């Protein structure tokens, strides 16, 4: 298992996760659709999962659902992503108004199709601060029917 470092609260945190996390640019949102819908700002994403914060009056139950990943400027929308909530916790020190609190949710992706893996990779390369296109110049190759592949130069 590889180890990565990432800045958190002004310090370098060493992680020993299976997949490297990528910080998402401003405007990245996740919409969780099941018996309860949550829309929140993505904090980070990896090839294995995602974490985001959202405002709610009660905790979500852990379990499987479908997730939608989107950019608010309309440049990207990735739908029907299988998702399983691993944890969901209140962040009352960040925001609280009566029974409404800011919550932080994290989970893992379910089995992704090959097409979904391509979409996820495109999102990581194009919309994260530390993805390949953030550090190198990239160009997009059209694959047909709204599908693209990135190539670093």
Residue 47 is encoded by which pair of tokens? Answer: 């090839």
Q: Note down the domain range covering 64.
A: 4-152
In the chain, where does DSSP find H-type helix? 114-127, 132-135
Q: Total domain count for the chain?
A: 1
User: What are φ and ψ of residue 122, in 5° steps?
Assistant: -60, -45
Contact 132, 147 (CB under 8 A): no
Could you tell me the mean pLDDT of each successive run of 10 residues in the chain, 153 residues long? 51 60 93 78 95 81 84 94 90 71 90 96 92 48 41 37
Task: Quote the pTM value.
Answer: 0.72
**Which of 111, 128, 2, 105 has the alpha carbon at shortest distance from 48?**
111
Query: For position 30, which CATH number holds?
Result: 2.40.10.220
């Amino acid at each position: 298992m590889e180890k990565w470092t990432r800045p958190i609260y002004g310090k370098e945190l060493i992680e020993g996760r299976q997949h490297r996390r990528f910080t998402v640019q401003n405007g990245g949102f996740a919409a969780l659709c099941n018996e309860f819908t949550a829309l929140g700002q993505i904090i980070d994403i990896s090839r294995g999962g995602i974490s985001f914060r959202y405002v709610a009056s009660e905790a979500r139950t852990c379990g499987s659902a479908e997730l939608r990943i989107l950019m608010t400027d309309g440049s990207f929308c990735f739908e029907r992503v299988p998702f399983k909530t691993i944890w969901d916790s209140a962040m009352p020190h960040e925001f609280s108004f009566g029974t409404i609190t800011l919550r932080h949710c994290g989970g893992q992706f379910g089995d992704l199709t090959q097409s979904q893996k391509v979409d996820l990779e495109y999102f990581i390369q194009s919309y994260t601060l530390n993805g390949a296109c953030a550090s190198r110049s990239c160009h997009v190759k059209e694959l047909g029917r709204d599908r693209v592949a990135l190539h670093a130069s």
